[in-house]
Structure formats: structure tokens, C-alpha cells
Amino acid sequence: MTYQSPLLAAPGSIAPGEGVVEQGVPWHWGDPFAEQRTASRGVAVVDRSHREVLKVTGPERLSWLHLVISQHVTELPDGAGTEALVLDSQGHVDTHMVLAHVGEAVYLDTDPGAHATSALPRGGPQTLREYLEAMRFWSKVEIGDVTGDLAILTLLGPDADRILSVLDIALAATPYAVTGFEGGFARRMPWPGRSSVDLAVPRAELADWWRRITDAGARPAGSWAFDALRVESLRPRLGVDTDERTIPHEVNWIGSAAHVAKGCYRGQETVSKVFNVGRPPRRMLLLHLDGSPEVYPETGDPVRLGERIVGRVGSVARHHELGPVALALIKRSTPIDAELLAGDDDRVVQAAIDPDSVPAEGAAPGRMAAARLRG
């Protein structure tokens, strides 16, 4: 049976419909655009309890993890976190995870259903835990699935620290700072938006924590708001903004999740080679969509320049300020000012690349791309 958050039964909670990626948690609480505004200007809380959590313990936890994930973690201090990937042998992304090192344990939380390899010699996918167990050999580590023990709630907005103060949680201001509290931990994130804090709370107390947080003044928000701010922040969602060919360089995971200098992890040769001597064939860009037809492309739909397919649609969101937007993997050769079409069948709309999503000096403001679509 698929996971269903107890908060779906709370008054005002709207469950996700068919086709919504984030299943099992509230999609919104009645006004998704107001939720986004609050998450940008005040503080909101999002139920992300469908995420899966692993726990790695043992005296060799850091040195062993350093060998099997893409990030440099041998010296990750207690009270710090980071992001990391598992890649296949060709450097394609299999799994994305967020780490928290606290209390002599490293916690890895991932999107639900994360897999560490998609094509085993014997066939069939391998879960992240299965992959880690297979790579443990004689290392002094223990790997446990603590999804049943911990649930993730995320605070969004510049007033998040006020909520932490009410909860009596002291957290450093630096990105990926981690602090433990009874039964869980808090981790500061650099996205989505300008201020975000993940709270890993006891799953049995999820409803109680939600009530404490909302009583302290945080507005309930759903996955709709979280994803809209994630898209604005140019942060990919595995399996939505990535496909079987995606390498970390294409989706802004170099540095934040993949280290280019360290060796000894699967796919490292591709990461280093593309970083040092080449350029990825595609790049993830923000598209402004023409919302006048009131139709939207879907994940996996093509992006066309004339008759030629130049990209793939990933996350599609309706943003409270930007309007309808999408992340898309676009061929590097595509002109930034190109007039594109995104979608397929009866859901094709005009699209324009936001120049601010392209690392380029002197880029025009992103609102100009949206203005072009409005005439």
C-alpha cells in the first residue's frame, strides 16, 4: 500500500490528484498561491513525510560513504549536512539524497522509491539501501531504514527562525547546518527559496509537531507551493527533471552534490572529464509558458524549435509571481532568445527561456521572457 500521511485527514487538506508527482502528502490547503506568497515572505510548513530516510552508523561511516557516493564527506563534521548522488558507471544520475551528520550517525533522506541502479545484470532495480548493503563488504558500518521512525517537515520563508525559536531549536545560519533535538534533527537548506529548514521529527508524533508549528504561526502549505519555489530556485527533482541520460553537470548538481576532484566513486571519470575538458550536451533551464490557452505541457513532453526537438519538459508549476513555468533540459546549442513550443498533442504552448536561468553575465531580467509571451 502506498504511503498516506495522516495530515491528509486534517481539515482543509487537499489531496493530490492523478498525475501529481508528490503522492501521499497534502497538495495544498485551499489557496496554493497564497501559500506560496507566505512561504516567500513569512513562514509556511510543508508535509514531506513521504520521503524515505536511511541511517548509517559505525566508526567508519564517513570514510565508507566517501567511497560510494559522489560527495566529499570524509571530514563532514558532526552538525553538518550536504547533498550527494549515486551515479551509474557512465556517470548518469541514479539517486539524489540529502545528508545530515548528527549524533554519531549520518542520515540520508531521498524522494520516495529512490533506486541506486536501474539496470542490474540479473535485471530489476536495486534500492538505495540494497546498493549500500552490497557495497558494505567488511566496513565497520550499519545501515538501517528509519523511514518508519522519522518524518520530514519543511519550514519555508524568512520567518523560519522564529518558529525554531518557539520550538526551542537553535540552528546555525550557515547552509546545511544540522542540530539534533530529542527524537530528531533540524537541517538548514539553501533551497527552495531563500530560507528553508528541514525538520526530521518522530513519525509517531507527526500530527503533534504539525500542530505545534502551525500554532506558532506557520501557514500550512502543500507540495504545490514547495514545487513552485523549487522550480523558481532551479533545483531538479529526480525522475522528473532527469532522465536515464542525465549527468550532474546538466542539472546544477556539480559542487552541491557531486565533487569533481575526489575519486573512487562510480561514475567519477565522467564527472571529472566533462567538468575539466568538455561541456554537457544539455542544460536545465527555466521556461516561461504561455498561460493564455490554460493548458500545460507534461513531464517528458518535447520542447521544439520549429520542427526540431531541442529539449525535454521536466517539472511544470504555476508560480504566484512568474505564472506558469517549467524546468526543461535544453540542448546547449539552442539560442537563448528562441521562440519554443513545449508540450505534445493538444497541450502545446509557446515557451521562452528565462535568461536568468542561464549562467551568463549581463543576462536580462527573467520577467522579460514572460512579457514576450504576453504580447
CATH of the domain at 75: 3.30.70.1400
Residues 88 and 13 in one domain: no
300 located within any domain? yes
Q: How far is CA 82 from the centre of its chain?
A: 13
Residues 43 and 71 in one domain: no
* Overall number of domains in the chain: 3
User: Whole-model pTM above 0.85?
Assistant: yes
Residues 157 and 25 in one domain: yes
pLDDT at 34 over 80: yes
Cell of 107: 542520515
pLDDT at 362 over 90: no
Under DSSP, is residue 178 helix (H, G, I), strand (E, B) or coil?
A: strand
Under DSSP, is residue 49 helix (H, G, I), strand (E, B) or coil?
A: coil
Q: pLDDT per residue over 222-257, tens digit each?
A: 999 999 999 999 999 999 999 999 999 999 999 999
Q: Which of the listed residues 145, 174, 198 is the one where a domain comes to its end?
A: 145
Residue 367 pLDDT: 45
Tell which residue, 157, 276, 166, has the closest CA to residue 226: 157
**Residue-range definition of the domain harbouring residue 351:** 281-360
- Cα distances (angstroms) measured from residue 288 to each of 226, 324, 327, 352: 18, 6, 9, 5
**219, amino acid identity:** R
Cβ density class 140-162: b for 16+ within 10 Å, e for less? ebebeebbeebbbbbbbbebbbb
Residue 360 pLDDT: 54
Please name every residue paired with 302 in a beta bridge, in sequence order, or none if there are none.
Answer: 312
> Residues of the chain with pLDDT > 90: what percent?
83
Residues 189 and 158 in one domain: yes
The CA dihedral of 202, 177, 74, 147, to the nearest 10 degrees, is 20
271 located within any domain? no
Q: How far is CA 124 from the centre of its chain?
A: 25
Q: Which of the listed residues 90, 120, 145 is the one where a domain comes to its end?
A: 145
Residue 111 pLDDT: 95
CATH of the domain at 335: 2.40.30.110
Residues 157 and 46 in one domain: yes
Under DSSP, is residue 57 helix (H, G, I), strand (E, B) or coil?
A: strand
| Continuous segment of H or E residues that includes residue 33 | helix 32-41
Under DSSP, is residue 209 helix (H, G, I), strand (E, B) or coil?
A: helix
CATH of the domain at 190: 3.30.1360.120
Q: pLDDT per residue over 128-152, tens digit each?
A: 999 999 999 999 999 999 999 999 9
Residues 58 and 83 in one domain: yes
Q: Which of the listed residues 215, 233, 251 is the one where a domain comes to its end?
A: 233
Residues 61 and 139 in one domain: yes
Residues 80 and 215 in one domain: no
Residues 61 and 141 in one domain: yes
Residues 165 and 18 in one domain: yes
